[in-house]
């Protein structure tokens, strides 16, 4: 394979939404086919999914209980390092801001600092809320009022945790991973998930790239993306590595993983997960 890309729409996203990741992979594939870099391709795939309001990232992100959408995003390149933002508000494409953080001496900017940085980079004010995300919030708040709250943190199945992500390999053999999310509902104020924690939600190195989706706390506990990357370094194919990663979880825990290396791609999830792979 000369180049490749895999994109997903989040653990729990129905396969009927596969056209979303397929469009994201196609956009990334156009860049890769034209000689573009893996990091630009993985970023572009996430940008397409952030702009698709059916997914929990960018436009359509989950609105937290205080009525605000707080978004996390991260980008990692096998040679140029990584960048991330967490708790970012009122910005259309958090993944593009994370990409700009990668160009600074820092790795992670949060909350007001991330927002200031985004504005200084020219990303304007944007309300990511949609009719659908607002009605989801209303239903969630009503459930809480009526005592239908999940047995936090034991019954994670009820949480909204889908995230978008992509991994890519370019024609020069460089790897990249990127992810973006509106996080979970419900969540305590200040909560940051796996995506902004490098090695947990995403990882890219000289031998491949991995992106995870699902319950952030579960992903962080196992440093999942780095763990799956190590499986590939030990000789597993991407599919074997993601299957092994998924086997670390009980089936009731919502987690998905995608991976790529020079030998191919892998996709696995404990739940339904809209995803697409494109290779040349
Ligand atoms: N996986 C996204 C999150 O838990 O925030």
pLDDT (0 to 100) of residue 161: 54
Q: Residue 219 CA: which ligand 1 atom is closest?
A: 1
Instruction: Please report which residue ranges of the chain form alpha helices under DSSP H.
Output: 19-33, 38-50, 94-101, 111-120, 131-145, 216-221, 224-233, 238-246
For residues 209 and 76, is the Cβ–Cβ distance under 8 A?
yes
Give the C-alpha separation, 272 to 255, whole Å.
10
Q: 137: Cβ below 6 Å to ligand 1?
A: no
List strands edge to edge, sheet with 175-181: 108-110, 81-88, 71-77, 175-181, 164-169, 4-11, 273-279
Residue 30 Cα to ligand 1 middle (Å): 28
CA–CA dist 154, 215 (Å, integer): 12
Contact 181 CB / ligand 1 (< 6 Å):
yes
pTM: 0.95
Q: Tell me the catalytic residues.
A: 163
pLDDT by 10-residue block (mean), the chain, 280 residues: 97 93 98 98 98 96 93 97 98 98 98 98 97 86 73 46 90 98 88 97 98 96 98 98 97 94 97 96
Atom of ligand 1 nearest to the CA of 183: 5
Nearest Cα residue to 79 out of 265, 207, 269:
207
3-state secondary structure of 165: strand
Whole-Å CA distances, 21 to 6, 144, 159: 8, 32, 22
234: exposed, middle or buried (Cβ count in 10 Å: 0-12, 13-18, 19+): exposed
Q: Tell how far the Cα of 201 is from the centroid of ligand 1, in angstroms.
A: 8
Q: Give the burial class of 150: count Cβ atoms within 10 A of its Cβ; 0-12 exposed, 13-18 middle, 19 or more buried.
A: middle
* Domains of the chain listed by start with CATH number: 4-279 (3.60.20.30)
- 95: CA distance to ligand 1 center in Å? 14
**CA-closest residue to ligand 1 atom 4:** 216
């Amino acid at each position: 394979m000369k180049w490749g890309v895999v994109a997903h729409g989040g653990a729990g996203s129905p396969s009927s939404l596969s056209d979303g990741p397929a469009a994201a992979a196609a956009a990334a594939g156009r860049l890769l086919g034209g000689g573009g870099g893996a990091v630009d391709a993985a970023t572009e795939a996430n940008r397409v999914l952030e702009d698709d309001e059916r997914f929990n990232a960018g436009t359509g992100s989950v609105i937290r209980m205080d009525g605000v959408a707080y978004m996390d995003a991260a980008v990692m390149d096998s040679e140029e390092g990584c960048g991330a933002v967490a708790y970012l508000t009122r910005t259309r494409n958090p993944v593009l801001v994370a990409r700009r953080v990668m160009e600074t001496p820092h790795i992670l900017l949060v909350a007001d600092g991330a927002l200031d940085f985004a504005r200084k980079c020219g990303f304007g004010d944007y309300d990511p809320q949609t009719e659908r995300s607002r009605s989801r919030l209303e239903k969630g708040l009503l459930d809480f009022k009526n005592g239908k709250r999940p047995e936090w943190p034991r019954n994670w199945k009820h949480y909204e945790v889908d995230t978008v992500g992509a991994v890519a390999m370019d024609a020069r053999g460089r790897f990249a991973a990127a992810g973006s999310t509106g996080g979970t509902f419900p969540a305590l104020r200040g909560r940051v998930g796996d995506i902004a924690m490098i090695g947990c939600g995403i990882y890219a190195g000289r031998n491949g790239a991995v992106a995870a989706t699902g319950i952030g706390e579960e992903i962080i506990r196992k440093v999942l993306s780095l763990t799956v990357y190590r499986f590939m370094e030990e000789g597993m194919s991407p599919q074997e590595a993601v299957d092994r990663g998924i086997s670390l979880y009980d089936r009731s825990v919502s987690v998905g993983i995608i991976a790529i290396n020079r030998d191919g791609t892998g996709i696995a999830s404990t739940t339904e997960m809209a995803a697409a792979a494109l290779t040349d």
